[in-house]
Chains A and B, each alone.
Chain A
Amino acid sequence: MKRLLNVHEAPIIIFTIAVFLLFSVISPDFFQLDNIKLILDQNISMFIVAIGMTMVILLGGMDLSVGSVLAVTATSVGLFLGQGIHPWIAALMGIGIGVLCGMVNGYFIAVRKIPDIIVTLATMYIFRGIAVGISGGTWMTNFPEGFRFFGQGQLLGISFPLLIAVVLIAVFVYLLKFTRSGRKIYAIGGNGSAAKLAGISAAKSKFMVYVLTGLLVGIASVIFASKVGSVQASTAGNSLSFEVMAAVLIGGGSIFGGVGTVAGTMLGVLFMGIIKNGLIISKVSPFWVDATTGFLIILAIVINTLQRIRQNKGKEGDLI
């Protein structure tokens, strides 16, 4: 039990279970297989984007532009489809645009060494602006039948987007935990100067992380466009950046870098998904959903902090 409590993700696991049980008691409609499937399904894009954000925050950075990247990629895919391009080609081209956006962010942040908050604040407007510009401000709808597979299709009886998300989570858990690249990300975020002295190039890792984030947002945006069936450039992914950052922090990530896991973040996304779904099912007025969500985020982060303080109690350095 004690060992279990010392797992990094322990607070968020317990908190998620508590919220889950609470909603199950409040509303009989909550704890239903269909509803749980719905929660997962509605948050697929967030799961995928949050993987990228975990790496960005591990580096001690932040990315305000992911929502706009989602908008510009989804809009582009819509345009490609409108031109009669094959859905698979259109999807791949869209993902390529996501990667391109990531390269733009990565270039200015890693190579030109401009602070990430400034770069992504600017690109947040730029990418959103491009999305609105190329769409001419109109809704993109009427996607061809073949495109629905990405968001709504099934493979071997399992939801295709869910499958993609699970594969991506597995790949990135492995990358962060078992490979050199992953270890470098933790080292740079944990102490940049020490990492530099160990011969680790921060620029390469940073660039890679922003490009991978672009790739993940690209994938998420194809799923998003296919699932929703329509894209509006000015609103798609509007609050995505902040929600995803919140999920990373709820999942135990540190805004100062060096601390956090993909598993924790995924729980963070799940936690936020459960709250939104549960509040609506429990008939909380939709006008109060945002405020309640914010309150629960603070609560989760306070619990995380308390856990960290508890773990540091046995430390000699600070006490004596």
Chain B
Amino acid sequence: MSQPVLTMEGISKEFPGVKALSGVNFELFPGEVHALMGENGAGKSTLMKILSGVYAPTQGTIRLKGKETSFRSPLDAQRQGVSIIHQEFNLFTNLSAAENIFIDRPEMVGRFGRIQWSKLYNEAQRLVDSIGGGEIDVRREVRHLGVHSQQVVEIAKALSFQADVLIMDEPSAALPENEVKKMFDVVNRLRAQGVAIVYVSHRMKEIFEIADKVTVLRDGVKIDTRSIEDVTEQSLIQMMVGKEVHRLYPVRDQEPGEETVLKVDRLSLDSAHAVSFELRKGEILGLFGVPGSGSHTVAERLFGLKRGTGDILINGKAARINSPGDAKARKIAYVPPDRHRQGIIKPMSIRQNLSLPMLPQLSKGLVLDRGRIRRMSEEYMEKLRIKAPSDEQSVDFLSGGNQQKVVIGKWLASKPEILILEEPTRGVDVGAKAEIYNIIHRLAREGLSILLISSEMPEVIGLSDRILVLYKGEIVHEFAHGEADQEQLLQRASHPRLEGGIL
């Protein structure tokens, strides 16, 4: 066995009042893809930040290629050969790919401070080509590139520092499902070139596809490092949460009702495409499509965020929905995909967030009815098991899972008949996921009709009574309960014309 390129020994990190990591050992070998897993708050980010030079450890040593070292800053770590690619790309979208790759680098500057453009472009193209990004023109501005190509630029940027170690933080999060394969190709090339890759992801399926080894952290302590052949999805979850999780998805013990609550007829998504479907009482209807398929637009149309043609019938009556206010009046609720940008209002308390869509009902005239607001908020804190010392605490202090529960809770308080959930568990840890799935099931059992739009296939399969597959603005397939598996679903969503073909 070769020598490890990186060794971390006894790494601890303390913040005032919190011990984020204690005594973590971590070894990384050249040419391996090493997955780092753990629930939110387990210490993954802290470990990554220490590794990439953002934080200095309180205790412990780092050895790079056998020599003890320390990273004074992210730039220092990069110069020593450790680069990180963040979940959100750090690109100047108004500059060319080549400029992004070699931003602020003395070796690209000639006499009198003149930038050596031809050297810059050639070097950049060579780097991009070496990881299979040959179709990218490095002279083009980054904003014209697709998400996958932008990621390639990020990786090229990291490699331009002769990276021995590359940390990838949730690299698939920003990618459409059908581009994840391309990203894996890039990772495989890097592996073949002997780069050591730390791969951080919540997505089980990817880990099993790409990783050689997996290290699990929990509560700031390393639980174990194992070879990927020695673990199963079940055992990984168990290592992460520390207790046996029997099922992530609850058993559906009730059939949806017969009556149609929502009927959508030729609802336009853009000038050329329209969809028709029905949602029954107490049903969980999954809507799956890769980004760009129009699934997000369906939600926007139903909630009045986007206008178009076509009919929406609610309980058999035609409804005009031109604004979120209209949708609210028709008892439609919408949990949006991006909780930070569209869901929570950070400076406000949990109670204030929960009461927001219901302000008219929770007021006497123009004046807020504080007693009712308090009772309502306490009721939903309890119902959704939102974990916080008090509902007067700012939502900013909550974990991702609890923030998401607040977003769901504020819409439940409006007593909707139709609930549109878009990416209800994005960026939420496994424990909170299971809780949110239970909540979704309970709501359906209580008679709420749910439209579940998600890009996580296991979630759509595990929760839905029926699944509609959307491809380029058209519903191309319907799976009945228990019919779909991930392979078929992805196949329908990306190559609907290939009947039973291979993927």
Selected contact of A258 from candidates B303, B345, B360, CB within 8 Å? B345
B63 at the interface (CB under 8 A from A): no
Please give, as numbers and ranges, the residues of chain B lying within 8 Å of A178 by CB-CB distance: 367-368, 370
B96-120 interface with A by 8 A CB criterion: none
Selected contact of A313 from candidates B16, B336, B343, CB within 8 Å? B16
Selected contact of B345 from candidates A195, A316, A317, CB within 8 Å? A195
Please give, as numbers and ranges, the residues of chain B lying within 8 Å of A305 by CB-CB distance: none
Please give, as numbers and ranges, the residues of chain A lying within 8 Å of B67 by CB-CB distance: none
Would you call B343 and A194 a contact (CB within 8 A)?
Answer: yes
Would you call A197 and B346 a contact (CB within 8 A)?
Answer: no
Please give, as numbers and ranges, the residues of chain B lying within 8 Å of A320 by CB-CB distance: 18, 20, 41-43, 45-46, 220
B17 to chain A, nearest CB (A): 7
Please give, as numbers and ranges, the residues of chain B lying within 8 Å of A196 by CB-CB distance: 324
A254 to chain B, nearest CB (A): 8
- Knowing A193-B341, A320-B45 are in contact, say whether A180-B363 is a contact too (CB < 8 A): yes
A174-216 interface with B by 8 A CB criterion: 178-181, 183-184, 186-187, 190-191, 193-201
A293-320 interface with B by 8 A CB criterion: 312-317, 319-320
- Knowing A179-B368, A199-B325 are in contact, say whether A194-B342 is a contact too (CB < 8 A): yes
Please give, as numbers and ranges, the residues of chain A lying within 8 Å of B323 by CB-CB distance: 199
A119 at the interface (CB under 8 A from B): no
Please give, as numbers and ranges, the residues of chain A lying within 8 Å of B45 by CB-CB distance: 320
Selected contact of A197 from candidates B20, B303, B399, CB within 8 Å? B303
B357 at the interface (CB under 8 A from A): yes
Would you call B347 and A179 a contact (CB within 8 A)?
Answer: no
- Knowing A195-B356, A197-B336, A199-B328 are in contact, say whether A181-B347 is a contact too (CB < 8 A): no
B474 at the interface (CB under 8 A from A): no
- Knowing A179-B366, A186-B347, A190-B346 are in contact, say whether A201-B352 is a contact too (CB < 8 A): no
A67 to B369, CA, bound (A): 37
B388-406 interface with A by 8 A CB criterion: 396-397, 399-400
B401 to chain A, nearest CB (A): 11
A320 to B399, CA, bound (A): 11
Would you call A319 and B342 a contact (CB within 8 A)?
Answer: no
Please give, as numbers and ranges, the residues of chain B lying within 8 Å of A183 by CB-CB distance: 352, 356, 359, 368
A312 to B253, CA, bound (A): 44
A103 at the interface (CB under 8 A from B): no
Would you call A181 and B366 a contact (CB within 8 A)?
Answer: yes
Would you call B347 and A258 a contact (CB within 8 A)?
Answer: yes
B357-413 interface with A by 8 A CB criterion: 357, 359-360, 363, 366-368, 370, 396-397, 399-400, 410
Interface 1/0s, chain B 18-55, versus A by CB < 8 A? Answer: 10100000000000000000000111011000000000
- Knowing A184-B359, A199-B325, A199-B357 are in contact, say whether A319-B20 is a contact too (CB < 8 A): yes
Minimal Cβ-Cβ distance residue in B for A181 = B366
Interface 1/0s, chain A 239-276, versus B by CB < 8 A? Answer: 00000000000000010001100000000000000000
Interface 1/0s, chain B 63-97, versus A by CB < 8 A? Answer: 00000000000000000000000000000000000
Would you call A198 and B341 a contact (CB within 8 A)?
Answer: no
Interface 1/0s, chain B 213-227, versus A by CB < 8 A? Answer: 000000010000000
Please give, as numbers and ranges, the residues of chain B lying within 8 Å of A184 by CB-CB distance: 359
Please give, as numbers and ranges, the residues of chain A lying within 8 Å of B324 by CB-CB distance: 196-199
B348 at the interface (CB under 8 A from A): yes
B207 at the interface (CB under 8 A from A): no
Would you call A179 and B346 a contact (CB within 8 A)?
Answer: no
B163 at the interface (CB under 8 A from A): no
- Knowing A187-B356, A191-B346, A259-B347 are in contact, say whether A197-B397 is a contact too (CB < 8 A): no
B450 at the interface (CB under 8 A from A): no
Minimal Cβ-Cβ distance residue in B for A316 = B41
A199 to B327, CA, bound (A): 9
A153 to B19, CA, bound (A): 63
Would you call A198 and B410 a contact (CB within 8 A)?
Answer: yes
A12 to B323, CA, bound (A): 41
B334 at the interface (CB under 8 A from A): yes
B469 to chain A, nearest CB (A): 26
B16 to chain A, nearest CB (A): 6
A315 to B328, CA, bound (A): 33
Would you call A315 and B397 a contact (CB within 8 A)?
Answer: yes
B344 at the interface (CB under 8 A from A): yes
A196 to B343, CA, bound (A): 10
Minimal Cβ-Cβ distance residue in A for B355 = A183
A67 to chain B, nearest CB (A): 29
B358 to chain A, nearest CB (A): 9
B194-233 interface with A by 8 A CB criterion: 220
Please give, as numbers and ranges, the residues of chain A lying within 8 Å of B356 by CB-CB distance: 183, 187, 194-195, 198, 200
Would you call B343 and A179 a contact (CB within 8 A)?
Answer: no
A258 to B396, CA, bound (A): 13
A196 to B357, CA, bound (A): 10
Please give, as numbers and ranges, the residues of chain A lying within 8 Å of B352 by CB-CB distance: 183, 186-187
Selected contact of A180 from candidates B342, B366, B400, CB within 8 Å? B366
Would you call A186 and B46 a contact (CB within 8 A)?
Answer: no
A182 to chain B, nearest CB (A): 8
A319 to chain B, nearest CB (A): 5
A54 to chain B, nearest CB (A): 14
Please give, as numbers and ranges, the residues of chain A lying within 8 Å of B220 by CB-CB distance: 320
Please give, as numbers and ranges, the residues of chain B lying within 8 Å of A179 by CB-CB distance: 363, 366-368
Would you call B18 and A198 a contact (CB within 8 A)?
Answer: no
A193 to B342, CA, bound (A): 5
A312 to B325, CA, bound (A): 34
B305-350 interface with A by 8 A CB criterion: 305, 323-325, 327-328, 334, 336, 341-348
B367 to chain A, nearest CB (A): 5
Interface 1/0s, chain A 77-103, versus B by CB < 8 A? Answer: 000000000000000000000000000
A196 to B43, CA, bound (A): 35
A109 to B43, CA, bound (A): 45
A192 to chain B, nearest CB (A): 9
Which 4 residue pairs are nearest across A and B when measured between Cβ atoms? A190-B345, A199-B325, A191-B345, A258-B347
Q: Supply 19 A–B pairs (Cβ within 8 Å), ascending by A.
A: A179-B363, A180-B363, A181-B366, A184-B359, A186-B352, A191-B345, A194-B341, A194-B345, A194-B356, A197-B336, A197-B343, A198-B356, A198-B357, A199-B324, A259-B347, A317-B400, A319-B15, A319-B46, A320-B41
Task: Other than A190-B347, A191-B341, A191-B344, give 12 A-B pairs with Cβ distance below 8 A.
Answer: A180-B368, A186-B352, A187-B345, A187-B352, A191-B342, A197-B324, A198-B324, A199-B323, A200-B359, A201-B325, A259-B347, A320-B42
